[in-house]
Each structure stands twice: as C-alpha cells, then as structure tokens.
Structure 1
Amino acid sequence: MGVRRRADHAPDFSRCRRDRRRGRAHHPVRRSKRSRPDAEGRLGAAGGDLAPARGGGMISIFGLLAVLLLPTNAPAEKASGRTEAELKKMTGELLSAVASGDWAVWDRYLDDSMIYTSEDGRTMTKAQLKEEIKPLPPGFSGTIEVESAEIHVYGDSAVVSHEDLERENVFDQKLVSHYHITDTWTRKDGRWRLVASQVLVRLQDPAPATIVDRRGWDDYVGRYDLSPSVSFTVTREGDRLYGQRTGRPKQELLPETDTVFFNAGAPRTRKIFVRDAAGKVVRIFDRRDGRDLLWTRAGNP
C-alpha cells in the first residue's frame, strides 16, 4: 500500500497526476533485474532499446536486508490456514486505513523499529510514517484492496508479497492503480508486528493519442545512429510507425503526441523526434526516467 507525501496541494491519494500521464510511477517504483550490458556498455533487455523494467523503481536495500536477516535455521514453509488468514486480515486492515487516515490501525501493527519504503523511494521510520497517514481531503475518496497474496513463514518471521488494487475518485473522476508490496513480519510476545514494507507500482502504458493527420510521420523515417555500430531505424507501414535497433526485433512506435512515441510494455521510456530550426528531423531523444540518450540521424552532424 502506498503512502503518499502530504503536500499543500490535493493528492491523488496525495500526489498530482501529471507523472502518471507521463508514464512515471506514482506510488512505488522499482528497477528491472540487471541484465548484461550491450555493445555500448548500457544495461539492456532484449525487448526494449533502454531495457525498461515492467514497473520501474529501485528495490530497497532495507527491504532486502529484512529478508536476509530472517533466521537461517528456519526454512520457508507455507503458512498454516490460521496464520495465513491472520496475516491477510492485518494486511487488508492496513490498506483500508490509508484512505481513512486511521493511524491507530498502523500503530497497532507496526513495530517501533519498522522501516517503510514509499512509492517515491523515501525510507521512513514509524514516526515519520505517522505524519503521512492523514485523511483524504474533501472531494477525494478511494479504496485499496488485496487482489492476491503469497505468504512464506520462517519460524517467527513471515514475508507477505501481495498485489493490490487502488480505486480513486477525485471529484467524480475515476482512477485505477496497481501495486506490488512486500511486507516482513515478526512475531513478538505472540503478536505479529510489521518490521519492513516496500511499495512498488505497476506502471501502465499511456493511452495512445488519436493522431488524425499522420503525414508528418514520413519525416521520421530513416536511420539514427548511436555509434558506428549501433543504429535505430524508423520505418512506416501504412499508418503505423516502427523502430528497430541493431540486433533487436522491430517494434511498433505508439504515439503519445505528434512527436513523442513509446513501445507497448515499456512505460518508462519515450522516443522523442527533434527538428532543427529549418524543420528537418535531425535526432531522437531516447528518454528513460528523465534521462536522454541521443541518436543522430544519418547524414546530420
């Protein structure tokens, strides 16, 4: 469940929607597993030019340590029906308490030493988290519920990995988000206490724009070079645009605007076509997480 920073503007459970429209995380973030570097020394994946992760963001070192520090002499075991039901119930109560801002629920289950990693990568203590759990302002409402959960027990510790669905109503506008959360619990004096939690967002592709006049797309067709050995070739087939990087399969470029395109399943990245002062397309900015990789059109400096 993602706790949003409470600013002096109205949240979308507390942050504005512009990042979500740009394909960025608005709850948790995570980074893809490391892959082998490509010919240019960049980490990549077979499916995308910049190896976009299916959900962006960085795995918290604290969440990892919480798992590594579980008792090594206690092999993972499937939770008993009673334990599983108890952990699921507590997880659901915590999620429900986000929209209502009911800190009493969190205080009841959180260990004093707990570490919480939020959707924007901030690491918070219990005291800091308390400042984030506030009721939603007028005009905002919503729910977060567990869609599925996997539970592993290690003696008096347990890891609960769950997929969650958030529905928001912002002045009668409907929004939906999906999250993956990993919680680490430990049993103290017969009671389960939450000692670590990390929230990750399931990033979604933006809705492709409806481009009525696509005649300008012919200007994008051509080869763009990253180096003498690595190129990105843009082709057009009817009213569809495609891009293919050296050594990788061809992928359709879907329009977000007239000049900004993305690949399905890669919401962290964009291809941005850039024109010079004379209106000629001379380069592509390959943007991931706000950082640009420059591809220069063949025949242009």
Structure 2
Amino acid sequence: MTAMLLLGATTARAAESAANVRWFQTTEQSLMDAIATGNRQPWDRIMDSGFVITTEEGQIIGREQFLKDLRPLPPGLTGSITVRDLTVQEFPTFAVLRYLADEWETVLAQRLTTQYRVTDTFRKNGSTWKIVASHVAVVTTDPPAQQVASDGWPGLAGTYQILPDGWTFHVVLRDGQLFGGRDPAKLKRFIPLTPDAFVLQGSLGEWLFVVGPDGKAMRIVDFRKFEPLVWTRVTDR
C-alpha cells in the first residue's frame, strides 16, 4: 500500500512538472513574440512588480522602464525570436529557466541572425508564476570574412610584444591568409573586417593594425572586451 501511494505521488509530481515545462515554454515564446510587435500585454501580465532585466549590453532595467521601451519594430525592420532548448530547474517557491533565443531580423532587406542565452527566474505566486529577473547574453560567433584588399598584409607580419618585457605575439602570412597567436605552433586565422582590422578566430574582440608610412605595422591595438591592449612590433619575423 505504501509503495503504491509513493508511486502515485511520484507520478503526480512528474505530471505537474511536465505541465509546468509546457507552460513555461508557451509563456517564454509568447514573450519573445511580443518583442517584435511591441505588445506589452504578455509581459505586463507575467512580470513581478520588482522585475529586473540585465540586457546583452549590461544595462539593468526595471519593470516600468522595460515596458515603456517596448515598441514595435520601426518601418523597414522585421524579425522573430524562437525559444529553443528550454530547461527548467524547479524548486518549491521558484524556478530557474535557461533557453536559447534564436533571432533573425531583416534591416532594410539585409538579413541578420543572432543567438542569445537567456536565464529567467520565476517565483511561484499561488497557482501561477511571476518572472522576477532575466539575464541576456549574446552567443559569440566568428563574423564572416569580408572581401578586402590584402596587398598590404605582408607589412603586418612580424613579432609584437607587450612592452617592456611582456608576452610576445606572432603574426605570419601563410597561403594568402594572416595567422596570429602567442604560441607559433598554435596560430589562429585572422578574419578580415577591413584591410587592417581583424577578428582572431574563436576569440572575442577586434585587432587593429596601426600601419606606418613604410607600410609596416608599428603596433596592434587588441580591443579585449572594449578595452585596448597594445602590442608593439619588435621584429619583422
């Protein structure tokens, strides 16, 4: 008898949990659908009075400001966000959700795609849930290489150093492509954005080569998370 009661309770909890996951999936998708249209109602209905969101730019925005800023996409822009890979960690009084927000948009006929990792926290409010916090982070990927002039790339090759006696960084030209790295045996490809601005494959930030009158780079300004790290040329090889 006891075993049957325990089994019944476990089955009931599993059914309730599955129902909650379906509710969260539907709710999160409705919130994402409301962004492009600027529909405040789905958000207003589910948001806790103390709701706070941390945006992908690091801004912290409260409920009132978020709803005020929520407007339809302007003319010339279209887009949509799909909620994928939703997971739910459910506790007696709150739940933590994580999912991939898969976004596409067209900006005056140019198509852009971006993915975000979203973490939402809900608190239980009687028989329903209220969202109290959201954190959004961009999923970083390598940008597409741009078609740029490469005739000046031989002048970018060389060895650079964080002066006076810091790390060294090697830049080599190989088969028409630039590669760079601190370990000569593990160089990564530079993805060109302009003739002298690059992204290092698999890394955050932009690498800007400052070229002198002789066509050789004097230094590299490596923007690491928007802060410059300067590497100075020390040799041509």
Asked whether the two chains share a fold, i.e. TM above 0.5, the reply is yes
Q: 4+ residue runs of structure 1 moved beyond 6 angstroms?
A: none
Q: 2:202 maps to what in 1?
A: 265
Tell me, yes or no, if the aligned pair for 1:147 and 1:162 is still in contact at 8 Å: yes
1:46-86 CA-to-partner distances (Å, cap 9, x unmatched) read: xxxxxxxxxxxxxxxxxxxxxxxxxxxxxxx9871111111
Q: Tell me, in whole angstroms, the C-alpha distance in 2 between the residues paired with 1:141 and 1:196.
A: 27
Q: 1:135 maps to what in 2?
A: 72
Q: 2:159 maps to what in 1?
A: 223
* Stretches of structure 1 lacking an aligned partner (at least 5 in a row): 1-76
TM-score, normalised relative to structure 2: 0.85
* Stretches of structure 2 lacking an aligned partner (at least 5 in a row): 1-12
Q: 2:217 maps to what in 1?
A: 281
Tell me, yes or no, if the aligned pair for 1:230 and 1:246 is still in contact at 8 Å: no
Q: Tell me, in whole angstroms, the C-alpha distance in 2 between the residues paired with 1:290 and 1:106.
A: 32
Q: Secondary structure at the match of 1:181?
A: strand
Q: Tell me, in whole angstroms, the C-alpha distance in 2 between the residues paired with 1:163 and 1:265.
A: 20
Q: Tell me, in whole angstroms, the C-alpha distance in 1 between the residues paired with 2:110 and 2:183.
A: 43
Tell me, yes or no, if the aligned pair for 1:139 and 1:171 is still in contact at 8 Å: yes
Q: Secondary structure at the match of 1:298?
A: strand
Q: Tell me, in whole angstroms, the C-alpha distance in 2 between the residues paired with 1:246 and 1:93.
A: 48
Confirm or deny that 1:255 pairs with 2:186. no
Identity of aligned residues (%): 29
Aligned length: 222
Q: Per-residue deviation at 1:108?
A: 0.6
Q: Secondary structure at the match of 1:166?
A: strand
Q: 1:163 maps to what in 2?
A: 100
Q: Secondary structure at the match of 1:135?
A: coil
Q: Per-residue deviation at 1:229?
A: 4.8
Q: Tell me, in whole angstroms, the C-alpha distance in 2 between the residues paired with 1:124 and 1:275.
A: 42
Instruction: Return the structure number with greater helix share.
Output: 2
Matched ranges for 1:174-189 at <5 A:
174-189=111-126
TM-score, normalised relative to structure 1: 0.68
1:236-274 CA-to-partner distances (Å, cap 9, x unmatched) read: 2221222121587222222221111222222x3222221
In structure 2, the CA distance between the partners of 1:256 and 1:170, relative to structure 1 (3 Å rule), is closer
Q: Tell me, in whole angstroms, the C-alpha distance in 2 between the residues paired with 1:247 and 1:294.
A: 19
Q: Tell me, in whole angstroms, the C-alpha distance in 1 between the residues paired with 2:33 and 2:172.
A: 49
In structure 2, the CA distance between the partners of 1:174 and 1:215, relative to structure 1 (3 Å rule), is closer
Q: 2:229 maps to what in 1?
A: 293
Tell me, yes or no, if the aligned pair for 2:170 and 2:184 is still in contact at 8 Å: no
Where relative contact order (Cα < 8 A, 6+ residues apart) is larger, the structure is: 1
